[in-house]
Structure 1
Amino acid sequence: MMKNIYQPYPAKIERIVDETFNIKTYTVKFINGDIAKSFNYKQGQFVEISIPGAGEAPFSITSTPSRPGNLEFTIRKIGRVTTKIFELKEGDLLHIRGPYGNSFPFEEVEGKNLYFIAGGIGLAPLRSVINQAFDHRPRFGEIKILYGAKSPAEFCYREEIPIWKKLPDTEVLLTVDNPDGEWQGNVGVVTTLMDKTKLSPLNSVVYVCGPPVMLKFVMLKLIEMGFKDGDIYVTLERYMQCGVGKCGHCNIGDKFVCVDGPVFSYRDIKVFPERERAV
């Protein structure tokens, strides 16, 4: 983490990839070489990105710690800050502070099967740990990625997914709500994919990210399939604001999502006050 947790540092946009009509992936690099070398993060952590005159917002780091150098963020245009970010071009600057929060378990789950279930832009925070696992492939069992989007045009990482599909002991299943004329895959919500492959609750962990309604039904189905609530992990980044537990925006019960999370096990979430429970 940077020495001053409130100090943002300038970073240059090296590359912009249009993922969908309202989602882009930004590859950035700190201007200060010392900052770039000292910026260490874990899979599942986030940063605050600021634009002078527009404000700041939290974003998951979607690049992976095992591939040092540039940072990557997948951002959906949804408000004032993201609208300003979308106006930036390659070569422009934005400002970053962090990293913050906890991380998805990694070393702790060596030898286990890894299952990833995502909806829409929910694949972005999972991509960090997915690629981390692929970079250390012999240390894990089977890897399965179940990913759903509203339409075929709204999948993120369309160039990367075919590469994942070709990796050993890996299965990638896709589904859409609204197929176009060329779509030949599954149609339905992401939980329908859970019936099309074998997800074993034995020696396995599950990482989940997506819209609240998706999270609710995925969790229910996983528990029904026999998964332990301590083996299911979800990120709740949408609740966050300041990133350091000061503003109180992300307070749930006795937890601050930005400090105690954003990654929680389903066991953690179950004890949240019901009116504030995320899933």
Structure 2
Amino acid sequence: MRTLANATADRPWTESPPWRVTASRAESHDTVTLELEPPEPFGFEPGQFNMLRVPGIGEVPISISGDPSRPGPVLHTIRDVGAVTHALCTLRPGQRVGVRGPYGTSWPVRAAEGGDVVIVAGGIGLPPLRPAIYHVLAHRESYGRLVLLYGARTPADLLFTGELDTWRTRPGVTVEVTVDTAGRDWHGNVGVVPDLVAKAAFDPGSAVTFTVGPEIMMRFAVRALLAAGVTDDRVFLSMERDMQCAAALCGHCQLGPFLLCRDGPVLGYRPLARWMSVREL
């Protein structure tokens, strides 16, 4: 089984034989979930990512978006925004893709046991958080409330809408969704996702929070969480930079003193705070 030990600079280019695409599912007009079959047993922690490679085009980091407790195909949810992601989004069952990983740090789901878990996601930030949601749902007895606050640009951009409906029916689970803009047929919240924090019911003294989204959204989400009484050592974020080697060698993913492929992508807000306040860093 591959573990985090495979994701270090002493073995930077460990890559298994190409993985086979077993399914491709459209999640929205520009986002696809690929199910990939590993050639050998594969394990990962919520929040980790793989490097996916299309020969002749390139390689990109993609978060694993499936259930870490389930054997079988490994899920990656991909937005079509460039040459490599476009090639990945157009793959069909039976085709193959190069995979390296898993890489990176993970959500501290076990350290969060005993309290509420608050998840704040914006846009394509929901897929990296979905494994943590699956974990908390599978171990409900170990946690307090699970609060998911999720926002997208429009209703058409919302991901996993069927799962959102299922999750909100579970005891002890709150799901609130908002969009930036919508037509008359939308009857939900309109506004930015950080605004949902003040309205959410959770215990700030016990809550651990996980946040992924555009960086400006995360800054305001952190501000709202701190204003709600969550301490800064219980706020965790997944940061994004230009990852190329995923082995802490090239330096492209540097953020202040951190190399996000090695020290992240999941980091606590307390050590990040100084660097998140520097514009254009």
**TM-score higher than 0.5:** yes
Cα distance in structure 1, aligned partners of 2:179 and 2:15: 38
Task: Indicate conservation of the 8 Å contact 1:58/1:242, yes or no.
Answer: no
SS of equivalent to 1:215? helix
Q: How far 1:274 sits from its partner (Å)?
A: 4.7
Tell me the equivalent position of 1:260. Answer: 263
The structure 2 residue matched to 1:98, chosen from 85, 101, 105, is: 101
Task: Indicate conservation of the 8 Å contact 1:5/1:97, yes or no.
Answer: no
Paired residue type of 1:213: I
Q: How far 1:108 sits from its partner (Å)?
A: 1.4
Pairing 1:177–2:185 present: no
Tell me the equivalent position of 1:165. Answer: 168
Pairing 1:215–2:222 present: no
The structure 2 residue matched to 1:114, chosen from 114, 117, 120, is: 117
Tell me the equivalent position of 1:19. Answer: 27
The structure 2 residue matched to 1:6, chosen from 3, 13, 33, is: 13
SS of equivalent to 1:168? coil
Cα distance in structure 1, aligned partners of 2:255 and 2:181: 34
Q: How far 1:277 sits from its partner (Å)?
A: 7.7
SS of equivalent to 1:237? coil
Q: How far 1:240 sits from its partner (Å)?
A: 2.3
Paired residue type of 1:110: E
Structure 1: tracts of 5 or more residues without a match: none
Cα distance in structure 2, aligned partners of 1:104 and 1:211: 18
1:58-88 C-alpha deviation (Å, 9 max, x unpaired): 0111112112221000101111111111221
Paired residue type of 1:188: G
The structure 2 residue matched to 1:76, chosen from 62, 74, 79, is: 79
1:164-192 C-alpha deviation (Å, 9 max, x unpaired): 11111001001111112211011111122
Pairing 1:65–2:73 present: no
Q: How many residues align?
A: 273
Paired residue type of 1:19: E
Tell me the equivalent position of 1:135. Answer: 138
Paired residue type of 1:11: W
Paired residue type of 1:12: R
Cα distance in structure 2, aligned partners of 1:273 and 1:151: 27
Which 10-residue stretch deviates more, 265-274 or 79-88? 265-274
TM-score normalised to structure 2 length: 0.92
Task: Indicate conservation of the 8 Å contact 2:120/2:148, yes or no.
Answer: yes
Task: Indicate conservation of the 8 Å contact 1:253/1:273, yes or no.
Answer: no
Task: Let me know the Cα RMSD of the aligned residues.
Answer: 1.7
1:16-69 C-alpha deviation (Å, 9 max, x unpaired): 111111111111102x2xx2x1x2211111110000000101011111211222
Task: Indicate conservation of the 8 Å contact 1:152/1:179, yes or no.
Answer: yes
Cα distance in structure 1, aligned partners of 2:273 and 2:257: 13
Tell me the equivalent position of 1:233. Answer: 236
Q: How does 1:181-196 map to 2 (within 5 A)?
A: 181-196=184-199
Cα distance in structure 2, aligned partners of 1:114 and 1:79: 34
Q: How far 1:89 sits from its partner (Å)?
A: 1.0
SS of equivalent to 1:85? helix
Question: Cα gap change, 1:102/1:276 in structure 2, threshold over 3 Å: closer, same or farther?
Answer: farther
TM-score normalised to structure 1 length: 0.93
Structure 2: tracts of 5 or more residues without a match: none
Overall identity of the aligned pairs, in %: 36
Paired residue type of 1:124: P
Task: Indicate conservation of the 8 Å contact 1:239/1:257, yes or no.
Answer: no
1:182-234 C-alpha deviation (Å, 9 max, x unpaired): 11011111122223322331111010000111111111111112211110110
Cα distance in structure 2, aligned partners of 1:173 and 1:90: 34
Paired residue type of 2:91: L
1:85-107 C-alpha deviation (Å, 9 max, x unpaired): 12211221111111111111011
Tell me the equivalent position of 1:44. Answer: 47
The structure 2 residue matched to 1:247, chosen from 236, 242, 250, is: 250
Tell me the equivalent position of 1:156. Answer: 159
SS of equivalent to 2:35? strand
Cα distance in structure 2, aligned partners of 1:239 and 1:201: 33
